[in-house]
């Protein structure tokens, strides 16, 4: 096992902060102006491809100061943030509408426009905010840029931290990950675990939002469109659904990667890009959108956890992982609900077990001779370990 640090990872630590009552209104006004200024800057940066600081400065600096009354340093932070947002939007092949900031906010450069001191955050301009609560695990790492947001009546400071990555060990085997609508199955030819997905739980809240909308709709008068309270409740149901998925994905990816580390396995996951693209072509139903969200976030968090914990990872082409016999390579046939069978060699197993064994096999091929070849037993006697 190699030791020491190999590169850095960026993570975001969120803290609740609370401004002094006497300066609350002035700060909130500044954050509202910043939000408007940022949306203007994003538009200008994208339309003029002004992705360098020099070009953005020439196009925006004066406008941001004069029209939006931003102090000089804040105006600079503003086009800097606009460039960062524009870059990430332009690099996304599935980008939708131009990104827009919705909540009042302000971007802050460490030491120049903010600093954390004891239990307070001090901002340029003399604002002082008390830190109400934060994640102390990352206190030892230095702060990067930060973002102060005003959301649902609360001030949240998001501070970026640079955390060293752990060196990766040479794996003694592979832990394959397979996901379907209902379950995540992880394992290899020796072990198998199954976790329920959070899709059904999240779907419940999507349905609550929809019922609320139906109850307040009529052909003559769509009350739900007009009444703010109803719209707000619908929004909070949708948010709850997304939070359920996000929490579950974080927790599950942590469990999977920790288990791999404990056994000194590499993690192997399928590349789900194609699957997600196919889902996008389907009608926009709640379930489909939750599946897309789950798959994308799961890929992100598994990879992130692997980087953080120093676990090697292999990303596998998903082609025919659930239709080929992992023993002899023949095409499998259906043999009852989610069950598959090989006519040539007699192997039979459930669809997810087949996928796990094929992902393991492909990972071994991909990672080369650093691993020993597994011997796959008949999987019919495996009891799913829940």
Contacts with Zn ion, residue ranges (CB under 5 A): 325, 327-328, 330, 342, 344-345, 347
DSSP letters spanning 276-338: HHHHHHS---HHHHHHHHHHHHHHHHHHHHHHHHT--EEEE--TTTTTB-TTT-PBPEE-STT
d(CA 322, CA 260): 22
DSSP letter at 371? S
Give the nearer residue to Zn ion in terms of CB position, either 179 or 327.
327
Give the nearer residue to Zn ion in terms of CB position, either 98 or 333.
333
Give the nearer residue to Zn ion in terms of CB position, either 307 or 350.
350
Give the nearer residue to Zn ion in terms of CB position, either 18 or 330.
330
Measured from the CB of residue 344, what is the shortest distance to Zn ion in angstroms?
5
Give the nearer residue to Zn ion in terms of CB position, either 197 or 324.
324
d(CA 354, CA 113): 55
The DSSP H or E segment spanning 350 is: strand 348-350
Measured from the CB of residue 167, what is the shortest distance to Zn ion in angstroms?
39
Measured from the CB of residue 52, what is the shortest distance to Zn ion in angstroms?
58
Q: Cβ–Cβ contacts within 10 Å for residue 317, how many?
A: 12
The burial class, CB within 10 Å (0-12 / 13-18 / 19+), for 197 is: buried
Q: Looking at the DSSP assignment, which residues form a beta bridge with residue 143?
A: 161
d(CA 194, CA 179): 10
Give the nearer residue to Zn ion in terms of CB position, either 274 or 329.
329
Give the nearer residue to Zn ion in terms of CB position, either 92 or 330.
330
The DSSP H or E segment spanning 39 is: helix 24-47
Measured from the CB of residue 377, what is the shortest distance to Zn ion in angstroms?
14
The burial class, CB within 10 Å (0-12 / 13-18 / 19+), for 45 is: buried
DSSP letter at 63? H
Give the nearer residue to Zn ion in terms of CB position, either 294 or 358.
358
The DSSP H or E segment spanning 156 is: strand 154-166
Give the nearer residue to Zn ion in terms of CB position, either 282 or 328.
328
d(CA 156, CA 147): 8
Measured from the CB of residue 265, what is the shortest distance to Zn ion in angstroms?
25
CB 193 within 8 A of CB 385: yes
Measured from the CB of residue 329, what is the shortest distance to Zn ion in angstroms?
7
CB 108 within 8 A of CB 129: no
Give the nearer residue to Zn ion in terms of CB position, either 299 or 352.
352
d(CA 117, CA 126): 14
CB 230 within 8 A of CB 275: no
Measured from the CB of residue 322, what is the shortest distance to Zn ion in angstroms?
14
**What are the angstrom distances between the C-alpha of 270 and each of 189, 234, 355?**
17, 34, 10
d(CA 308, CA 335): 41
Please give the angle made by the CA atoms of 298, 299 and 303, to the nearest 5 degrees.
110
User: Radius of gyration (Cα) for the chain, nearest Å?
Assistant: 25
């Amino acid at each position: 096992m190699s030791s020491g640090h190999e590169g850095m990872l960026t993570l975001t630590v969120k803290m609740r902060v609370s401004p002094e009552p006497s300066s609350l209104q002035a700060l909130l006004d500044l954050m509202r102006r910043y939000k408007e200024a940022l949306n203007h800057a994003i538009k200008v940066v994208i339309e003029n491809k002004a992705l360098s600081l020099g070009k953005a400065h020439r196009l925006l600096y004066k406008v941001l100061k004069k029209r939006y009354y931003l102090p000089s340093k804040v105006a600079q932070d503003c086009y800097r943030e606009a460039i960062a947002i524009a870059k990430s939007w332009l690099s996304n092949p599935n980008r939708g509408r131009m990104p827009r900031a919705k909540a009042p906010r302000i971007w802050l450069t460490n030491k120049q426009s903010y600093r954390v001191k004891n239990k307070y955050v001090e901002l340029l301009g003399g604002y002082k905010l008390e830190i109400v609560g934060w994640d102390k695990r990352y206190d030892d790492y230095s702060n990067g840029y930060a973002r102060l947001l005003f959301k649902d009546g609360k001030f949240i400071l998001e501070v970026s931290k640079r955390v060293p990555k752990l060196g990766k060990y040479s794996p003694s085997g592979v832990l394959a990950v397979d996901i379907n609508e209902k379950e995540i199955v992880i394992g290899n030819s020796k072990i198998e675990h199954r976790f329920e997905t959070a899709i059904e739980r999240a779907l419940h809240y999507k349905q609550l939002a929809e019922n609320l909308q139906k109850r307040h709709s009529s052909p003559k008068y769509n009350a739900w469109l007009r009444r703010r309270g109803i719209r707000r409740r619908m929004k909070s149901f949708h948010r709850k659904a997304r939070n359920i998925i996000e929490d579950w994905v974080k927790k599950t990816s942590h469990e999977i990667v920790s288990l791999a580390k404990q056994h000194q396995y590499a993690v192997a996951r399928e590349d789900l890009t194609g699957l997600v693209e196919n889902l996008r072509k389907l009608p926009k139903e709640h379930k489909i959108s939750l599946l897309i969200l789950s798959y994308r976030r799961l890929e992100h968090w598994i990879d992130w956890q692997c980087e953080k914990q120093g676990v090697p990872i292999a990303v596998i082409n998903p082609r025919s992982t659930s239709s080929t016999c992992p023993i002899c390579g023949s095409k499998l046939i259906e043999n009852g609900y989610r069950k598959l069978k090989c006519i040539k060699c007699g192997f039979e197993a459930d669809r997810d077990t087949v996928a796990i064994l094929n992902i393991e096999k492909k990972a071994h091929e991909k990672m080369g001779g650093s691993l020993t070849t597994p011997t796959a037993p008949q999987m019919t006697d495996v009891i799913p370990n829940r």
